[in-house]
Chains A and B, each alone.
Chain A
Amino acid sequence: MSAEDPIRFRDAGSSGSDELRALFQAGTDDLPSDAELAALAAKLGPVLTGAGGAAAGAGMAAKTKLGLAALGVAGTGVLAWALLSGREAPAPAMPAATAVQLRTAPTVTPSGANEPPAVLAPNEAPTPAGPPAPSETAPSAAPRAVAPPFRPAESEAEFLERARGALGQSPAAALSLANQHRARFPAGVLAEEREVIAIEALKRLGRTAEAEQRVEAFARRFPGSAYRKKLEAGAGR
């Protein structure tokens, strides 16, 4: 700030009145919620990953204005927020079968070049699509994991919404789905949301140490993530 720049209204010592100071302080705090940002990231999917190049981005805003992405993708936008806030995410606006036809997020990109190395807990191996690895199944005392049926046309957002939905009945199934996400959607844009689900599933399974390790890995990989502080707070850090 140069010597000629006046003291901002929101700061002490400015030439503005107390009313102006209060208004500009409130305006400075007027930031979007985590849920709003997550929904935006979900809708921007191909733009953030580069899938489909500029052409994908060119049609993105128009598509979402028609509400297409909002049906299938916005639900996932709030899912991580719902986990972090301890509230249930709202029900999807439409049945999944309908939303599938309207999705905007890409499904599988063979190369997977855009996905950085996976974030894995120490006892987890990369999991291809298919049955969960033994380490991901529930302990004997926990509810048995029942993998929902495979849906070939399922979008990334719908897949993770299914994982989130499984948390209540079967955290092991939710963890399995979260760990399958990486292989199913190697160019996916919702890696942060996947990790939030996986961490919550580990906590519900009583695998606290693994959850904490995954939180640490999350913080290293996504240092600027909107979810980071809440995850760390939840892990008691």
Chain B
Amino acid sequence: MTSPRTHLEVRAVFDEHARYVWRALRHLGIPEADVEDLCQEVFVVVQRKLAEFEGRSELRTWLYGICLRVAADHRRRAHVRNERPHPDPTEGLAASPGMRPDARAEARSALQALLAELDDDKRVVLVLYELEGLTMKEVAAAVGCPLQTAYSRLHAARDRLTALVEARRSNGGTP
């Protein structure tokens, strides 16, 4: 049984971070229908492990580390079930700032499709840095890899995305 203080902390962690856990899971390739379930899995782990969290890293780094493991487990299960979607990675790239709400939804969908084109190890680094706003040092800690490895993965992911967008433009897409 965990202590009442821990209980309050779990709620506090939820209030402060749940929306970002949710967003990160979306961008880590979790299907929309499964995001809520995986958020629950993340906070179940948080409840079990929070008392062991020693503060040697930032809380959000620790939390994103849990997200990565939960998402990786889910992908493995989905792979066994052969459920991986294959969206068009260049669909919806015409979206631009100041867009209408439906255009913004299209942009989000297009981003998901682009991210799906990345290898998992590069995607994870890109999502934590570009979308979740971690520093690269925090990214390396969350992923559990050397900092230079994290930089290499980030640059590779950025190059790949840039190439995909350029390919769209070359093929007559509407940027």
Contacts and interface: CB of A to CB of B under 8 A. Distances in A.
Interface of A: 1-2, 4-6, 8-10, 15-32, 36-37, 39-41, 43-44, 47-50, 53-54, 57-58, 60-61, 64-65, 113-114, 116, 189, 222, 224-226
Kindly list the 10 A-B residue pairs having the minimum CB-CB distance in the complex, ordered from nearest.
Answer: A50-B7, A26-B107, A57-B44, A224-B15, A53-B1, A32-B22, A23-B111, A27-B111, A57-B47, A61-B40
B151 interface: yes
B48 A57 contact: yes
Max chain A CB contacts within 10 Å: which of B1, B20, B99, B155?
B1
Interface residues of B, number: 55
A19 B174 CA distance: 10
B64 interface: no
Contacts, number: 154
A113 B175 contact: no
A156 to B, nearest CB: 15
A20 B11 CA distance: 35
Interface stretch (B53-61, B79-87, B116-124, B128-136): B128-136
B2 interface: yes
Contact of B22 (A10, A22, A36, A58): A36
B131 A2 contact: no
A72 B119 CA distance: 40
A170 to B, nearest CB: 31
A4 B19 CA distance: 28
Contacts of A30: 23, 26-27, 108
Contacts of A41: 14, 18
B129 A8 contact: yes
Chain B interface mostly: helix
B163 to A, nearest CB: 11
B161 interface: yes
Interface of B: 1-2, 4, 6-8, 10-12, 14-16, 18-20, 22-23, 26-27, 36-37, 39-41, 43-44, 47-48, 93-97, 99, 104, 107-108, 110-111, 114, 129-131, 133, 135-137, 151, 154-155, 158, 161-162, 165, 175
A47 B151 contact: no
Max chain A CB contacts within 10 Å: which of B6, B8, B36?
B36
A44 B96 contact: no
Given A10-B130, A20-B161, A53-B2, 19 more contacts: A2-B136, A9-B158, A9-B161, A16-B162, A22-B99, A26-B99, A31-B20, A32-B23, A40-B36, A43-B40, A49-B7, A50-B2, A50-B6, A50-B7, A54-B1, A61-B41, A65-B37, A224-B16, A225-B15
A21 B93 contact: no
Given A8-B130, A26-B108, A32-B23, A114 B12 contact: no
A21 B40 contact: no
Contacts of A27: 27, 107-108, 111, 130-131
Contacts of B155: 6
A47 B19 contact: no
B114 A40 contact: no
Contacts of A54: 1-2, 47-48
Contacts of B161: 9, 16, 20
B175 A19 contact: yes
12 contacts: A4-B151, A6-B154, A27-B108, A47-B40, A48-B7, A48-B43, A50-B6, A53-B1, A57-B48, A60-B40, A61-B37, A116-B8
